[in-house]
């Protein structure tokens, strides 16, 4: 009798039906999202990753998985650029990238958030380990191309312009000075390089040759404005417009133009706006 009361009391004090725990498990399991992709190395291109929609996944691709896939693809693009001539290093980072892609996008319970954090870590690791090497490689390339271009322009200035086109003298000296300025400017700046900046240094749109040609033409354009006295600049006790008869002035104009390669286009654009803005 007492035992019956004890059982009854325990039933009253612990009214936790078995169905409640199973319901909670069903609610938890219903929140799990399957991986929306099948991820593997591209059999036709060993430097690429294939993202195929999983046949076992129905519905719209979850935003976090879609965002992770896009981030992985953009990371892979940068890796292809910066390791274009180094298969060993590319493979080292590629394996990690493929692994986190599969962990975050494939299977019954993909670890998407963990993979997203791992991707950030991988990108940071590449920056820490490779940025100085890539920067020095770019600086070396800039110097070699600069020496070749400097020699060609100097020869043209000495043996062509100063013999047959005397009125155009000095512009080659300015261009040569701008080459020195660009190299010194890039060497002196200790800028913080991001992951995306690594590919920017390697992209053909801003390779060393294009950069030196672009800045050189800007410096020459600036010299033309000085020669026509549209701009009036004083270099200490020397007028900048006298660069045709003063090699030191021409060199200084070029070096300063190379150092201020970002500010120079703005100055020329500003002067052009003043000249033609009211027309």
d(CA 117, CA 119): 5
pTM for the full predicted model: 0.69
For residue 67 the two structure tokens come to 């965002």
**Among 137, 143, 139, 93, which Cα is nearest to 118's?**
93
pLDDT tens digits for 10-40?
A: 444 444 444 444 444 444 444 567 899 999 9
For range 229-243, the mean pLDDT: 75
Q: Which comes out higher in pLDDT, residue 124 or 228?
A: 124
- Those residues whose C-beta lies under 8 Å from the C-beta of residue 38, and which sit 6 or more positions away, are 50, 51, 52, 53, 54, 55, 106
Q: How confident is the model at residue 2 (pLDDT cuts 50, 70, 90)?
A: very low
All structural domains of the chain with their residue ranges: 33-110, 130-276
pLDDT tens digits for 244-262?
A: 888 888 999 999 888 887 7
d(CA 140, CA 113): 40
């Amino acid at each position: 009798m007492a035992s019956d009361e004890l059982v009854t009391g325990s039933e009253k004090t612990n009214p936790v039906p078995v169905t409640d725990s199973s319901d909670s498990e069903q609610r938890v399991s219903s929140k799990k999202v399957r991986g929306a992709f099948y991820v593997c190395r591209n059999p036709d291109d060993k430097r690429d990753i294939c993202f195929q929609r999983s046949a076992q996944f129905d519905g719209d691709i979850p935003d976090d998985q879609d965002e992770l896939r896009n981030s992985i693809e953009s990371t892979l693009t940068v890796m292809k650029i910066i390791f274009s001539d180094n298969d060993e290093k590319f493979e080292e980072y590629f394996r990690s990238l493929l692994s986190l892609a599969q962990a975050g996008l494939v299977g019954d319970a993909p670890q998407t958030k963990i993979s997203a954090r791992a991707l950030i870590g991988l990108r940071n690791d590449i920056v820490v380990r490779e940025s100085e090497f890539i920067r020095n490689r770019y600086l070396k390339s800039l110097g070699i191309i600069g020496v070749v271009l400097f020699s060609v322009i100097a020869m043209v200035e000495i043996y062509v312009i100063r013999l047959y086109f005397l009125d155009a003298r000095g512009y080659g000296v300015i261009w040569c000075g701008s080459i020195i300025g660009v190299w010194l400017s890039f060497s002196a700046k200790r800028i913080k390089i991001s992951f995306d900046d690594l590919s920017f240094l390697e992209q053909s749109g801003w390779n060393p040759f294009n950069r030196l040609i672009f800045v050189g033409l800007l410096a020459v354009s600036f010299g033309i404005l000085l020669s026509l006295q549209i701009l009036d600049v004083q270099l200490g006790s020397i007028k900048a417009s006298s660069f045709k008869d003063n090699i030191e002035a021409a060199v200084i104009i070029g070096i300063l133009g190379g150092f201020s390669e970002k500010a120079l286009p703005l100055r020329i654009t500003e002067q052009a706006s003043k000249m033609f803005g009211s027309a």
